[in-house]
Amino acid sequence: MRLLVIEDETRLLRNLAKALREEEYAVDTAIDGVEGLYKAQNCDYDAIVLDVMLPRMDGWQMLEKLRKTKKTPVVFLTARDTPADRVRGLDAGGDDYLVKPFDLSELFARLRAVIRRSADRPSAEIALGPVTIDTRARTVSANGQPVPLTAREYTILEYLAQQRGKVVSRTELYEHVFDEHEDSLSNLLDVHIFNIRKKLACDLIVTRRGHGYCIEK
C-alpha cells in the first residue's frame, strides 16, 4: 500500500514516514499543501495522512481541491481538536480525524479502516479459496495453516486480493507497493511474486503475459 504523508513539521514527518515504512507501507512525503496537492493529483495513493496547518495552502483547502478529481481516503492529523475543526475537516472530504499527540498504533488502525472502507470491504478478512487474508492482523493462512510471508510479500498479496478479478499491471503494482525512492526497473517484484507462490503452494496469482498479474474470481 502506498501512502502520502503531508506534514510541515520536519521531525514529525521523518518519524511518521519511518514508522509507516516499518509497517511496510510505501511512503511519499510533502511539506506543504501545494506540493501535497500536486503529488496527490498525479499518483494514485491508497490513503493520505494530511496535516491541517500547512504553509502555502492549508489542509482543508488542499483537500477541497483534491476532492474535485479524486476520492483518495484522507486521515487528518492535527492539533486542532474543537468540534468545529472536526466538522470542517469531515465536511471538506476527510474520512477520519486524529488529534496530536497520538499513538502510532491508532494511526495504523485508522489507516487500515479507511483503506478497507474505500475498497468497499467491510470485513477485515479476505477469503480466496483455501487462502485467508486477515487485513487487521496482516496475516495469511492457507488451508488453516499460517503462511510466513514477509511484510512486503503480504502487501503485494493484499493489493492483488483487493483487485480480485482485475489484471494489475506491473506499473500499478510498483506504484502501490514501492515508494518514489525505490527502483521500479529492478526485478524485485518478480522475486516477491515467486516467493508468495512458493509459500502459498497454490496457483492463486496468475500471470497475464505482457499485461500483469491477477487473482481470478
pLDDT in tens, 106-125: 999 999 889 888 876 656 78
Residues spanned by the domain of 164: 125-215
Q: Under a CB-based contact definition with an 8 Å cutoff, are residues 167 and 212 in contact?
A: yes
- Among residues 100, 118, 136, the one where a domain terminates is 118
Q: Phi, psi at residue 13, to the nearest 5°? A: -60, -45
Cβ burial, residue 122 (10 Å; 0-12/13-18/19+): exposed
pTM as predicted? 0.74
pLDDT band at 6; cut points 50, 70, 90:
very high
Same domain membership, residue 185 and residue 96: no
Among 119, 69, 124, residue whose Cα is nearest residue 93: 69
Mean pLDDT to the nearest integer, 174-184: 74
Number of domains in the chain: 2
